[in-house]
Amino acid sequence: MTETLNKTVFLWTNGKFNWTIFLWLIIGAVVSVGIFLIVSFTLKLAILANLNTGIVITIWAINPFTSALMDFCIYRSPLQQHHLVGMVFLIMCAVFVSVSGGKDAAPNSPTEIIKEAALPAWCAILCSVAMPVACTFQVAMQKYVTVNLHMSANDFTFGSQFIMAVVL
């Protein structure tokens, strides 16, 4: 009785190396590095602009909204009323945190010296907006790999993070 090998194990499909999945793992690693750089640059630019880092971080709260919108547009996943209400509240919270304090806030301690901003605040805010876009791309990529290429989400995450760790 001859049994044919007909399964996928990480990078191997039917006993052969799967270059397509390997390429997607490399793309996943590059996107992860990009997200790390966006986080780093956003915080650095916020400091240079004398902008409260909490403001730029709260902009990232729109990430579930952008991911759900992408999922709806590409895969036609229905958005239920509680999803929309939750996203509205997330955006409202981000707006409230953003408008409270900010550049005109008092120093954290009496000895803290307020320096003149080296950059305009819009630079940090624009960089912060790139984060939900990059995360939404990562979500779309992972969904494509798991749904269309039939790779488990755990294998994809482990593989792309492993490649990123080896290269860095």
Question: Which uninterrupted H or E stretch holds 116?
Answer: none
Among 62-76, 106-120, 144-158, top mean pLDDT goes to 144-158
Note the pLDDT of residue 15. 80
Of 124, 164, 143, nearest to 33 by C-alpha is 164
CA 68 to chain centre: 13
Instruction: Classify the C-alpha dihedral 90-38-161-153 as positive or negative.
Output: positive
Residues forming beta bridges with residue 13, ordered by sequence position: 8, 16
The strands making up 8-9's β-sheet, listed across from edge to edge, are 8-9, 12-13, 16-17
Please check the confidence at residue 54 and state whether its pLDDT lies above 90: no
pLDDT digits (tens, 9 = 90+) for 76-119: 888 788 878 887 887 777 677 666 655 555 555 555 555 677 77
Of 122, 125, 156, 152, nearest to 31 by C-alpha is 156
Cα(47)–Cα(121) distance, integer angstroms: 10
